[in-house]
Structure 1
Amino acid sequence: MNVTVGVVMRGVPPWLVAFSPARQGTTCPRRNSGGSAKRGNPRGSAPMSRPGRSARTRDEVFWRTLDTSSPEAYRASTRPHRERMWRELIGELPPPSLPPNPRSRLYREAERWVGHEVTLDVWPGLFAYGILLVPRGMSEGERRPVVVCQHGLEGRPQDSVGPSDEPAYQSFAARLAERGFVVFAPQNPYIGGDAFRWLQRHANPLGLTMFAVIVRQHERILEWLASLPYVDPSRIGFYGISYGGVTAMRVPALLEGYALSICSANFNDWALKVASNEEPFSYVFTHEWEMPEWNLGHTYNYAEMAALIAPRPFMVERGHSDGVGVAEVVDYEYAKVRRLCAALGIPERTEIEYFDGAHVIHGVGTFAFLHRHLQWPGPVRGEVD
């Protein structure tokens, strides 16, 4: 053994020594002045050189249990996984115990839509809140598709609607309302610095996560949206950016009331994203210490979550310069989704769009995806952006 390793690792179990960076002939990346981690391999593709143990475990416990012979057989084969993901990874809380009791007030009037702030009861002391955008000019008895637009970390529904100081959002909620979609932009609780992280930390020993609460809030939101006379309950889609992309992977995987899901600026090999001590995009090198999830690497990574969304449509929006990950990792994980949809005979229900940009809503391929799969005609050329 290298003398340095022997000194540093004295008293450490042999199995742990075997995995030490010094033993492997590598070094942990260090943060440079630009805020990224230095590494010897600029492609960062070493983790994909061969499937790791966690990936092989997921092959055994998940992929080999799926029945792709028919949509009905597939849904039946995914049901136990949906229940397990909810119970073990997310944490299952009781359904909402109060009536929705919706309260609203006018938020803003625009040329093509009217916005309302809405509050819905969930449990005593807990509510769901968001901004509802209703397009003008709807006919009597008409039922429109809905897009639920989810903000990112430290965001608010007002950011999704815009205008916002945060350039990532590109007013995507308002732009979709201008195209004729009913839009709801909910508030998720990942806001307030470390306050929500401590709530997550307190929940973890109870077998719960922040998303145990978020799922029930969205369950209430779906119930309420479906009750609106101008909404088609079978055409409610989800579109989330960044931490909203985290939501886009988890909530629609569990709640089948969402007809499709779009993950923007977030899709990844999530086990690598959370735990790698080599990749500069890893949460190991950031302040988001709430990210580890129980046994995710052996159960439901992002490809598996997307598989639980299937056979409903699923799309990834990815900027080439987005620092949340690198293309090699994103493509590696997404390839499993494309292969699954091909096996199910529905290759047209999944897409990935790359664009020359960073951590932002692009709103080109994704908007077309929403029009196509929520069956709403696109705008006349030049009518809206």
Structure 2
Amino acid sequence: MNKKICFPKIVLLSSGLLMGALAGIAQNTALIDPEVETARTNAYEKQLENYLRHFLVDEYEARAASRWNRDYSSPAALERSVEPNRRRWEEVLSPPILSKSGPLETKPYPLGALQAEWLTLPLGLLTAEAVLAFPEGASKQQPVPLIIVQHGIGSSPETPFTAGAYHEYAKGLLDAGFAVLIPMNLRSVERRNNVERYARLAGTSLPGIELVRVQHLLDGVLADPRVDEARVGMWGVSLGGMATLFWMPLESRIKAGVVSAWFNERRNKMAVPDPRYSSFSPREEHAFFNGWLTEFSDEDLVSLIVPRPLMIQHGKKDNIAHWPQVVEAYEKAALHYQRLDIPEKVDLVLHEGGHEAIVAEGVKFLTDWLAASNRENE
């Protein structure tokens, strides 16, 4: 017996019916005046902003006080007491697990008169890349300290060897006897915005990914007999300053740090627009990370770095912050060192310039803490 096959009916609207449907939609939207609806939505948006800003800013001190349980009886006690916070900070960055998928490759990379090396390390679908340069005289017999030099969002690994805001600070470090490792991180606001969106969907962050890339590079570079693996520092400018402040809590091989043109009164910077300083919102969405301001304003994040030496550099003409607020945040950060009776390990270089590195002071600070192999930093 032949069975009759029934297909679902497909209804095609004539142009008249379609116009009627659209007219019905228009009539429904006319149930409320567009200006009234816009005002209502604007009011709701304002409610949301006020609610979240109150949580982030007004309630921050009380919330942080309940989440930190610092023990200042000794440096070791402090490190042990903040370990739960360190794990929560790791959750903010959510660094992924990456594995080396090939050997570290090096090739000559001339930078003007300087002969450097370009490093390439495969990590599955990703690649970690960096410039590595040694001072004269570095050898197996005379290993030298290493500084991770991190460029900012508008720069590249070559930039720290140039003038301008960087003032050739990579060269200044080489002249002072340091080797320099300059990782290539993603450049430009637009690119970081794009990648950070994917990273959030994947449960990670771009700073977390770039931290792991640097950690794998360090594995290889610290195996070089010309490097003293016990004497590693980091110095970043702008977004490189962010990397320094973000990564030192999670990478114990970094024994001293310099943060240039980044340190801030973080709640204000991220959540309170003010004509006295610039705001990341709405253009730089890459700079907003899940859970950052639950308990990790800059002065609190510093307590995950103590007792390692840390220098903050900020220019009074740098519009990333209102400099008196930077001083206030620094004074709170310095309390962690003072309560351990090691105030000499933290310093603020408040200068009259702008968004830049201050070379002489930074080089001296790192030299003081990393130059002697037997120096006790912990």
Identify whether the pair has TM-score above 0.5, normalized to the shorter chain: yes
TM-aligned CA deviation for residue 355 of structure 1: 1.5
1:101 aligns with 2:134: no
1:103 maps to a residue whose letter is E
2:158 maps to a residue whose letter is Q
TM-aligned CA deviation for residue 203 of structure 1: 1.6
1:157 maps to a residue whose letter is P
User: For residues 288-324 of structure 1, what are the alpha-carbon distances to aligned partners after superposition, in whole Å with 9 as ceiling and x for unaligned?
Assistant: 1222221222221111221111111111011121111
Determine the C-alpha separation between the residues in 2 that align with 1:284 and 1:130: 27
TM-aligned CA deviation for residue 17 of structure 1: 8.9
Q: Is the 8 A contact 2:222 2:228 kept in 1?
A: yes
Determine the C-alpha separation between the residues in 2 that align with 1:268 and 1:131: 29
TM-aligned CA deviation for residue 182 of structure 1: 0.9
Residue 359 of structure 1 corresponds to 355
Give the % identical residues. 23
In the superposition, relative to structure 1, how do residues 86 and 100 fare at CA in structure 2: closer, same or farther (>3 Å)? farther
1:16 aligns with 2:47: yes
Q: Following TM superposition, where does structure 1 have runs of at least 4 consecutive aligned residues deviating by more than 6 angstroms?
A: none
Please give the secondary structure, in 2, of the residue aligned with 1:354: strand
1:325 aligns with 2:321: yes
Determine the C-alpha separation between the residues in 1 that align with 2:226 and 2:88: 35
Q: Is the 8 A contact 2:101 2:124 kept in 1?
A: no
**Higher CA-based Rg:** 2
Q: Is the 8 A contact 1:100 1:224 kept in 2?
A: no
Residue 74 of structure 2 corresponds to 70
User: For residues 37-68 of structure 1, what are the alpha-carbon distances to aligned partners after superposition, in whole Å with 9 as ceiling and x for unaligned?
Assistant: xxxxxxxxxx9xxx831122112212xx0111
In structure 2, which of residues 207, 210, 213 is the aligned counterpart of residue 211 of structure 1? 207
TM-aligned CA deviation for residue 138 of structure 1: 3.1
Residue 151 of structure 1 corresponds to 151
Unpaired runs of at least 5, structure 1: 1-5, 21-46, 378-385
Residue 133 of structure 1 corresponds to 133
Aligned residues: 333
Determine the C-alpha separation between the residues in 1 that align with 2:89 and 2:297: 10
Q: Is the 8 A contact 1:103 1:119 kept in 2?
A: yes
Unpaired runs of at least 5, structure 2: 1-35, 374-378
Q: Is the 8 A contact 2:172 2:359 kept in 1?
A: no
In structure 1, which of residues 47, 51, 54 is the aligned counterpart of residue 60 of structure 2? 54
Residue 35 of structure 1 corresponds to none
Q: Is the 8 A contact 2:279 2:320 kept in 1?
A: no
In the superposition, relative to structure 1, how do residues 99 and 135 fare at CA in structure 2: closer, same or farther (>3 Å)? farther
Determine the C-alpha separation between the residues in 1 that align with 2:232 and 2:304: 17
Q: Is the 8 A contact 1:276 1:282 kept in 2?
A: no
In structure 2, which of residues 228, 234, 245 is the aligned counterpart of residue 232 of structure 1? 228
2:264 maps to a residue whose letter is N
Please give the secondary structure, in 2, of the residue aligned with 1:239: strand
**Is the helix fraction higher in 1 or 2?**
2
Please give the secondary structure, in 2, of the residue aligned with 1:317: strand
1:236 maps to a residue whose letter is V
Q: Is the 8 A contact 1:150 1:239 kept in 2?
A: yes
Residue 120 of structure 1 corresponds to 121
Please give the secondary structure, in 2, of the residue aligned with 1:278: coil
Determine the C-alpha separation between the residues in 2 that align with 1:139 and 1:104: 17
Q: Is the 8 A contact 2:230 2:253 kept in 1?
A: yes
In the superposition, relative to structure 1, how do residues 53 and 178 fare at CA in structure 2: closer, same or farther (>3 Å)? same
In the superposition, relative to structure 1, how do residues 233 and 101 fare at CA in structure 2: closer, same or farther (>3 Å)? same
User: For residues 316-356 of structure 1, what are the alpha-carbon distances to aligned partners after superposition, in whole Å with 9 as ceiling and x for unaligned?
Assistant: 01112111111221112111111110111211110001122
Determine the C-alpha separation between the residues in 2 that align with 1:119 and 1:320: 38
Determine the C-alpha separation between the residues in 2 that align with 1:292 and 1:18: 15
Q: Is the 8 A contact 1:236 1:259 kept in 2?
A: yes
In structure 2, which of residues 80, 91, 95 is the aligned counterpart of residue 92 of structure 1? 95
TM-aligned CA deviation for residue 14 of structure 1: 11
Residue 26 of structure 1 corresponds to none
Determine the C-alpha separation between the residues in 1 that align with 2:336 and 2:275: 27
1:345 maps to a residue whose letter is D
Please give the secondary structure, in 2, of the residue aligned with 1:68: coil
In the superposition, relative to structure 1, how do residues 8 and 151 fare at CA in structure 2: closer, same or farther (>3 Å)? same
In the superposition, relative to structure 1, how do residues 287 and 70 fare at CA in structure 2: closer, same or farther (>3 Å)? same
TM-score (norm 1): 0.80
